[in-house]
Amino acid sequence: MSAYPHSTAKLEIKPQYRNMKQVIDRHPHIVDYAEEAIRRAGLTPVRGSIRGGTDGSRLSFMGLPCPNIFAGEHAFHGRTEWVSVQDMEKAAETIVHLAMIWEERAAKA
């Protein structure tokens, strides 16, 4: 700013993309249900940290915890990003199982 004596600057920091882990950690059954759904679809769950999930982050902090669940993509956001029909089918099957698990658990409550 010393090079521009009549200039001004303002910095405002607003949280907009927070780490949803702090919300998800308070609701471990959500991840347990997702892992069970993945197993029911005939796959092996793999936990890991990823970047992305902007919608899930926003929804989690609005009161709807939303862990990231795979959708079948590979090489995210690059020129070589792709997804196979088989992977999309497994992702869809997982989501159907997840809905069934939530219904099963609600019926027991």
* Residue 100, domain extent: 21-108
What's the average model confidence in pLDDT over 3-11?
A: 92
Compute the mean pLDDT over every residue in the chain, rounded to the nearest whole number.
Answer: 90
Distance CA 3, CA 47 (A): 50
What is the mean pLDDT of the segment spanning 5-27? 90
Can you list the positions of beta strands (E) in 10-91? Answer: 73-74, 82-83
Q: Quick check: 81 pLDDT over 90?
A: yes
Give the mean pLDDT of 73-85: 90
In a domain, 14, yes or no: no
Per-residue pLDDT tens for 36-50? Answer: 999 999 999 998 877
Does residue 74 belong to any structural domain of this protein? yes
Does residue 16 belong to any structural domain of this protein?
no
pLDDT of 37? 97
Asked, for residue 11, whether it belongs to a domain, the answer is no
Instruction: Decide if 84 is inside a domain.
Output: yes
Q: How are the residues of the chain apportioned to helix, strand and coil, as percentages rounded to the nearest 5?
A: 45, 5, 50
Of the pLDDT bands very low, low, confident and very high (cuts 50, 70, 90), residue 14 is confident
The secondary structure of residue 100, as a DSSP letter, is: H
Amino acid at 44: T
Tokens 């609005």, residue located: 62
The pLDDT value given to residue 52? 67
Phi and psi of 83, rounded to 5°?
-150, 140
- Residue 67, pLDDT > 90, answer no
Name the domain count of the chain.
1
Query: Would the pLDDT of 53 be above 80?
Result: no
**CATH no. for residue 69?**
1.10.150
pLDDT band for position 99 (50/70/90)? very high
- Supply 3's token pair: 């090079």
Assess if residue 41 is contained within a domain.
yes
Taken in order 60, 66, 71, 74, is the CA torsion positive or negative?
Answer: positive
- 65 domain residue, yes or no: yes
